[in-house]
Chains A and B, each alone.
Chain A
Amino acid sequence: MNIPKELRYTSSHEWARLEDDGTITFGITEHAQDALGELVYVEMPAVGDEFTSGDECGVVESTKAASDIYAPFDGEIVEINEALEDNPALMNESPYEEGWFARVKPAVDASEVLESMMSAEAYEESLHG
């Protein structure tokens, strides 16, 4: 299972990456897309939407199931991955790159946000727990 070392994670299978401008991009992990199966629909938030950590901010659906995506931290959506609207399977094919979900301006300093999330090692361990 691919769990890139440079990313941070949540126990609910979202990943996060710090961008140069201080925003954070996030998506769902390879483990999450594998458990869901081939995605056929993604419901996106709108740019400008504000979320508190743990809020439902989107839905991903496979033929088997619909699953909520939770905001991994407090912040405002500054960009969504519009490519997912036509090709939700990008989340399966490239969960950490082309299949990213949204970019967020965090409510507090980004490094603080990422510090509070799990490391790749801790996330991997949580999968086996």
Chain B
Amino acid sequence: MQMYDEGFMSDQEVELKHVPLEEVHIEAGGKMVPFAGFLMPVQYTGIKQEHLAVRHKAGLFDVSHMGEVEVRGKDALKVVDYLVTNDVFQLKDGQALYTVMCHPNGGVVDDLLVYRLGEEHILLCINAANREKDVAYILKSAPSDADVTITDTSDEWAQLALQGPEAKRILAKITSLDLDSIAYFHAKFGDVAGVQDVLVSHTGYTGEDGFELYIPVGGSRQIFEAIVEAGGDDLLLCGLGCRDTLRLEAKLHLYGQDLSDDINPLEAGLTWTVKLNTGRDFIGKEALLKIKEEGVSKRLRGLIVEGKGIIRQGYEVYAEDQETLIGEVVSGSFSYMLETSVGLSYIKAEYLGEENVLVKVRSKFLPAKVTKKAFYKNT
């Protein structure tokens, strides 16, 4: 037996960084793997059990590897609005926004969450693997005459994600915040398990209801343990393995697979995050207007396998004639809710009408249905 596709488990040999809870994960039986430069738990009890726990009850993830950048000052809103494709000026205090940040040619630098904490204070949550690239890009691209201070505060925040239909009930036991008053894609500061100034955000990356907690770094263990106790039998510790299978079922993009510097948001099905008609000016606007006018050359689609077999990143996608290469799988795995393999692929524009395609799995062709929708979503 030989592993030949380690997927997200593989990583380059780099000096590993450590999340504050690393020891806690090891004690709790977490199987640790390098990811985005951190040693992170890929699973505790098993990807399937953890996946289903989030779908049916609740799961707790340590996502402290995620990066945070804070932009403060009189021009904070203006600067962030110029950096990203979505409209930051529509945000009210305590509101969150999903967006991408683009290169001048329209390629995606990163996808991120923008929190308006105040008129002069914005928090950006960025992908761990892109931290250095993003910070350099933001510093380089912010207008030099703007009145802002831009700080990489990633090391000051730990982050936990409590996800699943029971998440709110569990979190309510250990916070004085009224969670019903935090609408979806909104956030409030409050106390959690005795830790002050926790940003409780009604967001997630699983397709389930849930919360992401931005925790001043010293408080993460206290909150982690309190959530485990409050969750009891309704909660499982979850690793990055099921984070990937959950986000794929919900068709949430993963940077480095579904998004990259060479892919633009119009191809990626993220047109809804690109606000072109509001008189705003932002990096990539001109290129994206042109791409919109000329039409995209490929577009992201979901594939649902019919029959047995697993589709994975890098597998070729063919038209039904078995000869015309029309795309390549960028994300692929097994869906525990659909009980078949699912994946995402960029399909060449002229074949976007195809409803049935073939994915080449080793020497065989595996039939798959094409879909525009999420495979599973409960939010």
B133 on the A face (CB < 8 A):
no
Q: Is the CB of A67 within 8 A of B46?
A: no
CA distance in complex: A43, B42 (Å) = 25
For residue A28, which residues in chain B have a CB less than 8 angstroms away from its CB?
1
Least Cβ–Cβ distance between B99 and chain A, in angstroms: 29
Contact residues, B162-211 vs A (CB, 8 A): none
**Contacts A37-B43, A37-B241, A40-B334; is A68 near B309 (CB within 8 Å)?**
no
Taking CB atoms, residues of chain A closer than 8 Å to B9 are 64-65
| CB proximity to A under 8 Å, residues B232-291 | 241, 244-245
B318-335 CB mask vs A (1 if < 8 Å, else 0) is 000000000000000110
The CA-CA distance from A70 to B4 in the complex, in Å, is 13
Contact present for B308 and A66 (CB under 8 Å): no
B48 touching A38, Cβ below 8 Å: yes
Chain A residues in 8 Å Cβ range of B3: 35, 65, 67
Contact with B along A52-66 (1 / 0, CB 8 A): 000000011111111
A41 in contact with B334 given A63-B241, A65-B6, A65-B9 (CB within 8 Å): yes
Task: Tell me if B1 and A13 are in contact (CB < 8 A).
Answer: yes
**Nearest-CB distance from A44 to chain B (Å)?**
10
Given contacts A61-B310, A65-B9, contact A37 B1 (CB under 8 A): no
Chain A residues within an 8 Å CB radius of B244: 63
Contacts of B5 in A (CB 8 A): 65-67
Residue among A13, A43, A85 facing the most chain B CB atoms (10 A cut-off)? A43
Name the one of B4, B6, B46, B310 contacting A41, with C-beta atoms under 8 angstroms.
B310
Chain A CB within 10 A, most for which of B241, B312, B334, B362: B334
Chain B residues with CB under 8 A of A37 = 43, 46-47, 241
A85-115 interface bits toward B, Cβ cutoff 8 Å, 1 = contact, 0 = none: 1000000000000000000000000000000
B378 at the interface (CB under 8 A from A): no
Separation of A63 and B51 alpha carbons in the complex (Å): 11
Residue B2 interfacial (CB < 8 Å): yes
Residue of A nearest to B244 (CB): A63
Instruction: Name the distance in Å between A104's Cβ and chain B's nearest Cβ.
Output: 16
Q: Is B7 an interface residue (CB 8 A)?
A: yes
* A-B contact number at CB 8 A: 64
B192 to chain A, nearest CB (A): 31
B334 close to A60 (CB less than 8 A):
no
User: Nearest-CB distance from B220 to chain A (Å)?
Assistant: 26
A85 CA / B309 CA spacing, docked (Å): 10
- Whether a CB of chain B sits under 8 angstroms from the CB of A77 is no
Inter-chain contact B1/A69, CB cutoff 8 Å = yes
The answer to whether the Cβ of B341 comes within 8 Å of any Cβ in the partner chain is yes
Minimum CB–CB distance for B323 against chain A, Å: 24
Across the interface, B333 reaches (CB within 8 A) one of A12, A35, A63, namely A63
Give CA–CA (A60, B309) in the complex, Å: 10
Task: Kindly provide the distance from the CB of B360 to the nearest chain A CB, expressed in whole angstroms.
Answer: 13
- Whether A32 is near chain B, meaning CB under 8 Å from some CB there, is yes
Contact residues, B348-367 vs A (CB, 8 A): 362
How far is it, in angstroms, between the C-alpha of A28 and the C-alpha of B3 when the chains are bound? 13
Complex CA–CA separation, A11 to B244 (angstroms): 31
Report whether A67 and B4 are in contact in the complex, using a CB–CB cutoff of 8 Å.
yes
Residue of A nearest to B31 (CB): A37
**Across the interface, do B2 and A12 meet the contact criterion of CB distance under 8 Å?**
yes
CB B300 to nearest CB in A, in angstroms, measures 21
Contact A64 B4 (CB under 8 A): no
- With A28-B1, A38-B46 given, is the CB distance from A64 to B310 under 8 Å? no
Task: Decide: A70 near B2, CB < 8 A? Known: A37-B43, A40-B310, A63-B245.
Answer: yes
| Contact indicator A68/B334 (Cβ below 8 Å) | no
Q: Is the CB of B1 within 8 A of A14?
A: yes
Residues of B within 8 A of A32 (CB): 1
Also in contact, A66 and B4, with CB within 8 A (given A43-B309, A85-B308): yes
Complex contacts, A60 vs chain B, CB 8 Å: 1
Contact between B2 and A67, CB atoms less than 8 A apart: yes
The 3 closest A-B pairs by CB, nearest first: A40-B334, A61-B310, A38-B48
**What are 6 pairs between A and B in contact, CB < 8 Å?**
A13-B1, A32-B1, A40-B341, A62-B47, A64-B9, A65-B7
Knowing that A41-B341, A65-B5, A68-B2 touch, tell me 17 more A-B residue pairs with CB under 8 angstroms.
A28-B1, A37-B43, A37-B241, A38-B47, A41-B334, A61-B334, A63-B47, A63-B48, A63-B334, A64-B7, A64-B8, A64-B9, A66-B4, A67-B1, A67-B3, A67-B4, A68-B1
